[in-house]
Structure 1
């Protein structure tokens, strides 16, 4: 069975226009980490004998979002880039469960406990950046530093009651769809690429879409020559956190650890932008190093133009890579010979 699945996976990759990754740097290992609901999959880049920077992708992306950035980052530090639950090659949450950010926070804590990390280093993009920020906000004593790429403080929604009702109704629709075991809609490869690139004002450049697709699609059994998305449809329900702006301002006062925030000039704030800057001003006073930068590019600038953010991240890490990393390297039981196959 594994041989058949790997064969199908090769079919997906072969049809991604046979485009090569920009990098010849292949110093990563495919890994899986056991968790109570299944496993978390990902790539471990760089040194494996020391504690890495746990790296989280954005909503409906996967750990491939960091493939173009990793070769440009500090080679003395490892990066464990994972697929969030329901994304990429990671297990989905059990039926009937909603993809709340709290689930991602619990996942981070599971991983930190699995490795027995004395401190936690986090990097995240978009949803991954928000998750990283919130984890560092509720566990500031656990952090050595956090890196947020066009996503940091949670957004404040107007009429949260209406938004929550809409989200819950969406969840029931997609949860029922998952229970039907129906194959998702499938599309020709070019349309699949367009659907990956279109969100956030065409944030992803078409020429790089194949990198994210490798962990995101499978060949249709019903429509030969077409492909469907393997991520959990329940992710489309949306998500919410119920912090108020006043609470976020208060909690930011206790975030003393170093924090790096890159704001893409072509990205959106997804809320009243003064909310972001109010919290940023507090972080500049509370953090030992609140390293904030505007970066030219789209919401996925770290993916499209990694050379614009990599030097800034490297400088930040060089300043703050001072905590002990000797505990929490890779475990043999995690390593898989080949990429975990997509779900069919």
Structure 2
């Protein structure tokens, strides 16, 4: 039984904010969850008195990625969209530590423990979907359901040993940047919007880049009118933990949790797409309820065109949501 009343009293002093998308309006509360290295920040979208769906963003994004989608979803269902460690307003890892799937999975357990959840329901985009899928592989008994937005199973990396060696060499350099006393390079607002929009083949429409920008910049003290990017530079390095294709195939045969996967037609698979479909075909057979949909759009279709995914998500949540 989750002690939401006790927990929410700790956040009564936090101000409410309102997100609006045309005729869609919904309140959220900024939250801060303690972890051993600091805190995990996020937005808890109303209602606040029931267990929400944990919402995980993509690599180098933040919980603002859901600002346009969540107001369109079922108002009787809560959502806790967090900034992963080193992203958004969440604390960075200590010096010398590497961001990895293990770090994010451990973070999920700290959140679950603090909020006294027995189970978790997930909606994840890109890296967030990979993290949620991996957690589901390991702890099916704790996962009510999983919704994946343009991402799902962990990626299989070619020549992984050489790739890992290269990333570990780069880590020393980026670790110095992360804790340098010098201010990072600064940019105009328009330049930062371009930087946000450009990755993944201009995945984010410039019109909505501000959703990701608001939690990831600070005003420059050296160059008035300009801003620097606050996310941890170590996030640029990438992932060093990997599963083999054979391991993912084996795990997929036993993945019985309800799963919904939404694939953007204008986005890459980020690996050999045959790996993806072989695993997903097995998940389809094992899952108690498996949904798969293609939608037109880029990797960030949920941000640029949330109306294209909202109906699919609402339908799946309607069949499986658990609040206790």
**TM-score, normalised via structure 1 length:** 0.87
Map of 1:55-74 to 2, 5 A cutoff? Answer: 55-74=55-74
Q: Is the 8 A contact 1:32 1:39 kept in 2?
A: yes
Per the alignment, residue 281 of structure 2 pairs with 281
**Per-residue displacement from partner, 1:119-152 (whole Å, max 9, x unpaired)?**
1101110010100110011111111101110011
Map of 1:84-233 to 2, 5 A cutoff? Answer: 84-233=84-233
Q: Is the 8 A contact 1:154 1:241 kept in 2?
A: no
d(CA) in 1 for partners of 2:155 and 2:184?
A: 30
Note if 1:297 corresponds to 2:297. yes
d(CA) in 2 for partners of 1:139 and 1:70?
A: 26
**Per-residue displacement from partner, 1:168-200 (whole Å, max 9, x unpaired)?**
111111101223222111111111110000000
| Structure 1 runs (4+) greater than 3 angstroms displaced | 20-24
Of stretches 123-132 and 219-228 in structure 1, the one that deviates more from structure 2 is 219-228
Q: Report the alpha carbon displacement of residue 22 of structure 1 after superposing the two structures with TM.
A: 3.3
d(CA) in 2 for partners of 1:168 and 1:124?
A: 27
Q: Report the alpha carbon displacement of residue 116 of structure 1 after superposing the two structures with TM.
A: 1.7
RCO greater where, 1 or 2, for CA within 8 Å and sep 6 or more?
A: 1
- Structure 2 stretches of 5 or more lacking a match? 1-18
**TM-score, normalised via structure 2 length:** 0.92
Q: Is the 8 A contact 2:20 2:26 kept in 1?
A: no
Note if 1:22 corresponds to 2:8. no
**Per-residue displacement from partner, 1:97-129 (whole Å, max 9, x unpaired)?**
000111000001111111221211011100101
Per the alignment, residue 311 of structure 2 pairs with 311
Normalized per residue, which structure has more strand? Answer: 2
Q: Is the 8 A contact 2:255 2:286 kept in 1?
A: yes
Of stretches 297-306 and 108-117 in structure 1, the one that deviates more from structure 2 is 108-117
**Per-residue displacement from partner, 1:35-93 (whole Å, max 9, x unpaired)?**
11110000001211111100000011110000000111111110000000001110000
Q: Is the 8 A contact 1:143 1:257 kept in 2?
A: yes
Per the alignment, residue 243 of structure 1 pairs with 243
Number of residue equivalences: 305
d(CA) in 2 for partners of 1:218 and 1:194?
A: 17
**Per-residue displacement from partner, 1:202-221 (whole Å, max 9, x unpaired)?**
00000111121110101111
d(CA) in 1 for partners of 2:315 and 2:152?
A: 19
Q: Is the 8 A contact 1:140 1:254 kept in 2?
A: no
Q: Equivalent residue of 2:209, what SS?
A: helix
- Structure 1 stretches of 5 or more lacking a match? 1-19, 327-344
d(CA) in 2 for partners of 1:265 and 1:287?
A: 23
d(CA) in 1 for partners of 2:208 and 2:98?
A: 30
Q: Report the alpha carbon displacement of residue 21 of structure 1 after superposing the two structures with TM.
A: 5.6
d(CA) in 2 for partners of 1:21 and 1:29?
A: 14
